[in-house]
Amino acid sequence: MRELDIAGFIPKSVVDWRGKVSSVVFVPGCNFACDYCFSHQLISKPDSLPKIHVSTVLDSLSNRQNNIKAVVISGGEPTLHGHRLIRFLEEVQARGLLTRIETNGSNPFMIRFLIENELLDSVVLDVKAPLYSKRYAETVNKTAVLSKVKRSMYLVMDSGIDYEFRTVVIPGKTSLRDIQSIARSIRGAKRFVLQQFVPFSGTLNPKFESISATSYDQLIEFAQKVIGIQEVRIKTEKGEETINQLSRIHQPR
């Protein structure tokens, strides 16, 4: 069986899974084409990236087992890799490590399989825009995906495993109304992370490179005005900060 395609590997990270020293694996390819995407080379030029053998990653995980507690699989879109992803997750778990994927939610069938077969300890689901078909399609440059994303969202909320929803706040593009709309759609969720837009390494659409990084003050302002979520965080290049919203949940989802 062909092994998982790996285009990037961070042996040790303290910012990709809060509270856990992790290794991060990046897989190429994505079925979305978000203009603001930071990982644009994984989408537009996957063949130009170095290929990292799975054995190299697994050897690193084995050697660092006393320090590394978890592995995050990001991309690109991990769920596009099917059985190769499944096999890799099994290898990671065999080493006693926790597993997390970062996904766009477009493959609820794979997400369900991974959860039901206890191959995941955590899911990060990126919510790209308010949950309206036209707006979502314009943001991800792909039609007829919102129903699948919604299915994935409700699936992880009911899964019993750790999860969080994440939205990139783009200055001049993402409004407070957008964030509040998303929050209403995931009301009662365990965690909602507002992520800083950082264009310094380039974006899929070059026009977005001229947009400034999201300011700390804007992230704080938006986060403070979110209600109905158990925990709201902001994430910048320097790490994460939590805003506890438990007292502001007025009724269950």
Confidence at residue 113, expressed as pLDDT on a 0 to 100 scale: 99
Is residue 3 in a domain?
no
Q: pLDDT at residue 247 above 60?
A: no
pTM here is: 0.93
The residues, any chain, with a CB within 8 Å of residue 14's CB and separated by 6 or more, are 21, 22
Confidence at residue 252, expressed as pLDDT on a 0 to 100 scale: 40
CA dihedral 88, 89, 90, 96 (to 10 degrees): 120
Is residue 179 in a domain?
yes
Is residue 1 in a domain?
no
Is residue 239 in a domain?
yes
Confidence at residue 202, expressed as pLDDT on a 0 to 100 scale: 84
Is residue 93 in a domain?
yes
CATH (domain of 142):
3.20.20.70
Q: CA angle, 91 as apex, 101 and 106 as ends, to 5°?
A: 25
Is 73 in contact with 25 (CB distance < 8 Å)? Answer: yes
Query: For residue range 171-190, what is the model confidence (pLDDT) as tens digits?
Result: 999 999 999 999 999 999 99
Per the structure, the count of domains in the chain is 1
Domain that holds residue 56: 8-248
Is residue 34 in a domain?
yes
Mean pLDDT highest for which of 35-49, 51-65, 154-168?
A: 154-168
241-244: Cβ within 8 A, 24+ apart: none
How far is it, in rounded angstroms, from Cα 149 to Cα 142?
A: 12
